[in-house]
Structure 1
Amino acid sequence: MDIKEIQNLIKFVAKSGASEVKLEMDDIKITIRTGGDDRGESTTYVQQIPMNQPLAQAVPAAAPLAESVHAEAPAASEDSKYITIKSPIIGTFYRKPSPDKPMFVEVGSSIGEGDVLCVIEAMKLFNEIESEVSGKIVKILVDDSSPVEFDQPLFLVDPS
């Protein structure tokens, strides 16, 4: 392996975003490390952005904020007749048991107590989230494959 190949390898690793690459051949061992520690922190920050995004959008200026409060007050009273199903854990929300399977529930689906609504992955464990109420799914509040926090609303259910 000549110096040009090593330089090309370094450039490739830097562009790929990998923090460390080890290459061992017959008589050569190469370890390439980049500034991966800083990137790890930024990845954590990026995962937190979707959680804070609605808050940031709600506060662009003082006048629109007052209008949005009045506009959302009737919507909140409409939603008060629905039961909110919240996340019991922190993790990644999935609407399907696996990529090739159908969704657990859709808007308009009738559910009963004990029906599986979604799966939340936490630390490589997939936890089935079961309904504690019977009713009809009115709204799904989280996108598939999105991170969720503890006690974050996931579904709105009409109990009637």
Structure 2
Amino acid sequence: MDIKEIQNLIKFVAKSGASEVKLEMEDIKITIRTGSGKTETTILQAAPMASMPQAAAPVAAPAAAEAVTTIVTDSAEANYVTIKSPIIGTFYRKPSPDKPNFAEVGTEVSVGDTVCVIEAMKLFNEIESEISGKIVKVLVDDSSPVEFDQPLFLVDPS
């Protein structure tokens, strides 16, 4: 089951008026609860038995996630490099509401500079630039959900 099917299922359940729906398949369990204007979704996906660790130990989150970059092929933007989201989560342009944005249009960034944070499961992951250049376009609104590999910024490396 892919993310689009899950999103469609959530929308369907929200429109149907049902208060709770549980879906169990051999490798995934989904519970969708609605009520009081809020929809809550829990997704549990079974891991293969061979790859499960013997002891349950807490895993530390990485301090900074690496951004994925690709070259844009559109002729108008052929010279720009795209910084893409390495994870699914909520995109934030600033470290906290009272702080300035990490990067604005026209900001010069270097390799390793933080350009945004993405919140995933209550963890804030700093997204660092893998290239040096000038930000020419911010492609995502602040506090918006982002998908894996979704373009976030266009950078002019020249």
TM tier relative to shorter chain: 0.5 to 0.7
Q: Does 1:91 align with 2:75?
A: no
CA distance in structure 1 between the partners assigned to 2:154 and 2:86 by the alignment: 15
CA distance in structure 1 between the partners assigned to 2:111 and 2:39 by the alignment: 38
CA distance in structure 1 between the partners assigned to 2:151 and 2:35 by the alignment: 30
Question: Aligned match of 2:126 in 104, 119, 128?
Answer: 128
CA distance in structure 1 between the partners assigned to 2:118 and 2:129 by the alignment: 14
**Which ranges in structure 1 are unaligned for 5 or more consecutive residues?**
1-33, 46-74
TM-score (norm 2): 0.56
Q: Is the 8 A contact 2:88 2:146 kept in 1?
A: yes
Between Structure 1 and Structure 2, whose CA radius of gyration is higher?
A: 1
> Which position in structure 2 is the counterpart of 1:35?
19
Moved over 2 A (4+): 34-40, 42-45
Q: Does 1:80 align with 2:64?
A: no
Deviation at 1:156, TM superposition (A): 0.2
Deviation at 1:85, TM superposition (A): 0.3
Amino acid at match of 1:88: P
Q: Which has the higher strand share?
A: 2
Q: Does 1:158 align with 2:142?
A: no
Q: Is the 8 A contact 2:117 2:125 kept in 1?
A: yes
Partner-residue secondary structure (3-state), 2:74: helix
Please give the root-mean-square deviation of Cα atoms over the aligned residues, in Å: 2.4
User: Would you say how many aligned residue pairs link Structure 1 and Structure 2?
Assistant: 97
Deviation at 1:76, TM superposition (A): 2.4
**Which ranges in structure 2 are unaligned for 5 or more consecutive residues?**
1-17, 21-32, 42-72
Q: Which has the higher helix share?
A: 1
Deviation at 1:81, TM superposition (A): 1.2
Identity of aligned residues (%): 71
CA distance in structure 2 between the partners assigned to 1:116 and 1:132 by the alignment: 10
CA distance in structure 1 between the partners assigned to 2:39 and 2:140 by the alignment: 20
Residues 63-102 of structure 1 show CA distances to partners (whole Å, capped at 9, x for unaligned) of xxxxxxxxxxxx9211121000000000000000000100
CA distance in structure 2 between the partners assigned to 1:44 and 1:144 by the alignment: 22
> Which position in structure 1 is the counterpart of 2:98?
100
> Which position in structure 2 is the counterpart of 1:144?
142
TM-score (norm 1): 0.56
Residues 29-86 of structure 1 show CA distances to partners (whole Å, capped at 9, x for unaligned) of xxxxx9362459x8479xxxxxxxxxxxxxxxxxxxxxxxxxxxxx921112100000
Alignment of 1:13-28 (within 5 A): none
Amino acid at match of 1:83: V
